Amino acid sequence: MPPTRHTARRDPSAAPTLAEVRDQIVNCTACPRLRDYCQRIAREKKRAHRDDTYWGRPVPGFGDPDARVVVIGLAPAAHGANRTGRVFTGDGVGGSCDFLMTAMHAHGFANQPTSHHAGDGLRLSGAFIAAVCRCAPPDNKPLPYEIAACRQHLDAELAALPNVRVVVALGRIASDACWRKYRPEGPSAVTRPAFAHGQVIDLGTAGVPIIVESYHPSRQNTNTGRLTPPMMSAVFATAKRLAGPVGA
């Protein structure tokens, strides 16, 4: 008689795992405007990528499940992550992906300074990259109700990452999302400081990550010198110092 197989059952009330969250994100259809836009871009393509098969679906986070640092961006680029299917990947020479990865690599969070396509061998160590909105928006501008709808996915990813100590918020909208999530309420409520590049917000609450604010590495900021490589690097030096050594 063959041995009886016992299948371990998960507690149905347990928070979703990272793999389950990924599945939920990839199959989300909550925002018709964004889903239509991403699919249209994936069909029409850009001349330079006409031979590529675009991802065209919502983009889940990417990185180390033991991450102590989570980087939160805004949304996939139409011909970047919406094409490659990996967050902060493939927006071309001089784009935000390599700019960000160069800084993360310099501080040991990435094994290479570039992020070109999902099979390029990039691995993150001690870090995870997520976004406020998982579908590429027209003009890179998600609407407030779309950001609100997508909050569930960021919350679920953060809940599935048990070791997070620092959140790097890339841009004001990402910082808004962090503040909304982590702000203290009731008698201990504090006034939110104005957004500032390099600002560290430590709410001093057990289990609540420290927020490090940064300008977003969009071409608009990097081409104008508003955000320089040393400034981006300094953000990750701060994040590394605050998060402590990996495995501690």
Kindly tell me which of 91 and 146 has the beta carbon lying closer to ligand SF4.
Answer: 146
Task: Tell the smallest beta-carbon distance from residue 59 to ligand SF4 (Å).
Answer: 8
Rule CB under 6 A: say whether 156 interacts with ligand SF4.
no
- Taking the C-alpha atoms of residue 146 and residue 141, their distance in angstroms, rounded to an integer, is 10
| Tokens of residue 207, six digits | 């289990």
Q: Please select the residue that binds ligand SF4; options are 150, 170, 210, 235, rule is CB under 6 A.
A: 150
Give the chain's length.
Answer: 248
Closer residue to ligand SF4 in complex, CB, 150/235: 150
* Contact flag: residue 157 with ligand SF4 (CB under 6 A): no
Query: Which range, of 88-96, 142-150, 172-180, 206-214, touches ligand SF4 by CB under 6 A?
Result: 142-150
DSSP for 12-53, written as a single string? TTSPPPHHHHHHHHHT----HHHHHHHHHHHHH--GGGTTS-
> CB–CB of 164/241 below 8 Å?
no
Residue closer to ligand SF4 by CB (options 21, 28) is: 28
Task: Please give the torsion angle defined by the CA atoms of residues 102, 107, 108 and 111, in that order, rounded to the nearest 10 degrees.
Answer: 10
Considering CB under 6 A, how many residues would be counted as binding ligand SF4? 15
Comparing CB distances to ligand SF4, the nearer of 3 and 144 is: 144
User: Binder to ligand SF4 among 58, 76, 95, 209 (CB under 6 A)?
Assistant: 58
Rg of the chain taking only CA atoms, in angstroms: 18
Q: Which lies closer to ligand SF4 via its Cβ, residue 36 or residue 120?
A: 36
At its nearest, how many Å lie between ligand SF4 and the CB of residue 110?
A: 25
The whole-angstrom separation of Cα 99 and Cα 122 is 14
Paired tokens of 57? 């679906």
Cα angle vertex 60, ends 84, 132, to 5°? 110
- Residues from 95 through 134 that contact ligand SF4 (CB under 6 A): 133-134
Q: Which of 28, 41, 161, 167 binds ligand SF4 (CB under 6 A)?
A: 28
Cα separation, 104 vs 122, whole angstroms: 11
DSSP 110: B
CB atoms < 10 A from the CB of 48, how many? 9
Give yes or no for residue 31 binding ligand SF4 (CB under 6 A): yes
178 binds ligand SF4 (CB under 6 A): no
Between residue 187 and residue 226, which ones bind ligand SF4 under the rule CB under 6 A? none
Residues forming the site for ligand SF4 (CB under 6 A): 25, 28-31, 34-35, 58, 133-135, 146, 149-150, 153
